[in-house]
């Protein structure tokens, strides 16, 4: 795993955006795995800026989102489809039919999950997956003890995730759906590159356990230690519990610029 510590969320997000931009430059029809939540917002802002100011072209890019709440329709203000439309897709020249978010209103959830996996495979697999991390170490909505072999499926959120996400639902935990559809950890591990972002002190414990703890399903993100191309962009606050932070800085600072975005 490559650990990239930046001063703040803005610098970390811009560095991550350069990796995404380089991929799309080299492969204009790249398949991106995308995430929601507060963490990727600055990354998406930077991608929008690249489109507006530098003519960056998303016309052939395809995307698959990690997860969606069950029971929220696409126009619900907290649905992840709406989040993606309002925070990225409406501002870049991506074709809406090339964007995919699990269907939280699917009548037959297992069939919809299998179809989602098939659509990813039909697209040639995910080139680059953007990930956040929950304060409990979840990736996507793969909560602690999720199988490392899991594929897209229904999951029940932990009480901690419900509490964490209540801020998007007027602070009211009772409004947060308890079930979701999420790509599995196996799905995420199949991505050719994983790019995780984590900002703020409330992520420091999960980041330290992910990077320096044992690989264990109680800390789902720790599986990234087994991924051949995982990059973790974090700010100083999220890095504050890493034992080897100085080493990670030394590694990154010693790289030539072209390699930093690769
Ligand atoms: P956040 O969520 O970006 O809103 O902190 C991250 C996650 O739950 O994966």
Question: Domain for residue 184, yes or no?
Answer: yes
Marked catalytic residue, from 46, 67, 127, 190: 67
Question: Residue 24 domain-assigned?
Answer: yes
Going from the Cα of 38 to the center of ligand 1, the distance in angstroms, rounded, reads 6
Domain count for the chain: 1
User: Could you report the per-residue pLDDT of 45-96, keeping only the tens digit for each?
Assistant: 999 999 999 999 999 999 999 999 999 999 999 999 999 999 999 999 999 9
Domain that holds residue 152: 2-253
Expressed in angstroms and rounded, the spacing between residue 254 Cα and the centre of ligand 1 is: 30
**Cβ atoms of 234 and 249 closer than 8 Å:** no
Ligand 1 centroid, distance to 42 Cα (angstroms): 13
| Ligand 1 mutation pick, 140, 160, 164, max ligand atoms within 8 A of CB | 164
258 belongs to a structural domain:
no
Q: What proportions of the chain, in percent to the nearest 5, are helix, strand and coil?
A: 40, 15, 40
Active-site residue (options: 103, 136, 164, 235)? 136
Residue 174 lies in a domain: yes
Whether residue 261 lies inside any domain: the answer is no
Determine if ligand 1 sits within 6 Å of the CB of residue 132: yes
In which band, very low, low, confident or very high, does the pLDDT at 260 lie, cut at 50, 70 and 90?
A: confident
Q: Which residues pair with 31 in a beta bridge?
A: 62
Instruction: Check which CATH number belongs to the domain holding 133 and give it.
Output: 3.40.50.1360
215: number of Cβ within 10 Å: 13
Residue 112 within any structural domain of the chain: yes
Among 189-193, 215-219, 258-262, name the one with the lowest average pLDDT: 258-262
Within 13 Å, how many C-alpha atoms sit on residue 161's CB side? 22
Write down the pLDDT at residue 239. 98
130 falls within a domain: yes
Q: Is 49 within the bounds of a domain?
A: yes
């Amino acid at each position: 795993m490559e650990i990239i510590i930046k001063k703040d969320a803005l610098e970390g997000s811009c560095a991550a955006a350069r990796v995404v931009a380089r991929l799309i430059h080299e492969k204009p029809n790249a398949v991106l795995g995308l995430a929601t939540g507060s963490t990727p917002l600055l990354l998406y802002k930077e991608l929008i800026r690249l489109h507006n100011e530098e003519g960056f072209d998303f016309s052939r890019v395809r995307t698959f989102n990690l997860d969606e709440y069950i029971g929220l329709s696409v126009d619900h203000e907290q649905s992840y489809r709406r989040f993606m439309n309002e925070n990225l897709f409406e501002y870049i020249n991506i074709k809406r039919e090339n964007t995919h978010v699990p269907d939280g209103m699917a009548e037959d959830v297992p069939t919809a999950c299998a179809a989602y996996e098939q659509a990813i495979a039909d697209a040639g697999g995910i080139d680059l997956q953007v990930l956040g991390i929950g304060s409990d170490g979840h990736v996507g909505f793969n909560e602690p003890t999720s199988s490392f072999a899991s594929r897209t499926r229904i999951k029940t959120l932990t009480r901690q995730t419900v509490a964490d996400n209540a801020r998007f639902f007027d602070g009211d935990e009772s409004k947060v759906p308890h079930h979701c559809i999420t790509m599995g950890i196996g799905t995420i591990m199949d991505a050719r590159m994983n790019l995780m972002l984590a900002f703020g002190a409330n992520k420091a414990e999960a980041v330290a356990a992910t990077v320096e703890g044992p690989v264990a399903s109680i800390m789902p993100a720790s599986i990234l230690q087994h991924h051949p191309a995982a990059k973790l962009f974090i700010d100083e606050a999220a890095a504050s519990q890493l034992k080897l932070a100085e080493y990670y800085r030394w590694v990154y600072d010693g790289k030539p610029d072209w390699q930093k975005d690769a």
